Amino acid sequence: MFEEKVYTISSLNDLPDAARWLLKEIGSSRLIAATGAMGAGKTTLIQSICYELGVTQNVTSPTFALVNEYISGKGEPVYHFDFYRIDDPIEALDFGLEEYLHSGFLCLMEWPEKINDFLPDETLTLSIEEQPDQSRILRLRLPE
């Protein structure tokens, strides 16, 4: 059973507040699977989350590298995955996915449906839904 939390982003100016909301809601959870259509804003939201965590590096989509590692203001790694170009889920295992997922550090994942079978049960799902007025609705599924 899951509890769903909802947050609306009306404009890019709302991203820092949305990132703070999300970080508060996830608590100690470390595995966040961000879903949404191409162009929905997954990377942009992850950038805001990283900046709220004190990451000073340039946060970009790891589309070709599959994973980027950033360092938070607390000196901890933050892992940003993009599985869009994965053809076979085994590719994720080949680069050490399980070690990242069990590291205890924050893992922010785009296109997680490509590796769904390998995601631990405690993975939280964050869906980003585009609206006709260009706003975005965030839906975070939390275990009850």
Decide if 109 contacts 32 (C-beta within 8 A): yes
| Amino acid identity at 136 | R
Q: Is the pLDDT at 29 greater than 90, yes or no?
A: yes
| pTM of the full structure | 0.94
What is the structure's pLDDT at 97?
A: 95
Decide if 78 contacts 72 (C-beta within 8 A): yes
The rounded mean pLDDT for the chain is 94
CA distances, 29 to each of 48, 59, 130 (Å): 18, 21, 25
Q: What is the CATH number of the domain that holds 51?
A: 3.40.50.300
Q: How many domains does the chain have?
A: 1
What is the structure's pLDDT at 62?
A: 86
What is the structure's pLDDT at 64?
A: 80
What is the structure's pLDDT at 27?
A: 93
Decide if 133 contacts 105 (C-beta within 8 A): no
What's the average model confidence in pLDDT over 91-97? Answer: 91
Range of the domain at 91: 2-143
What's the average model confidence in pLDDT over 73-98? Answer: 94
Closest listed residue to residue 57, CA positions, set 73, 74, 44, 70: 70
C-alpha 135/C-alpha 28 separation (Å) is 28
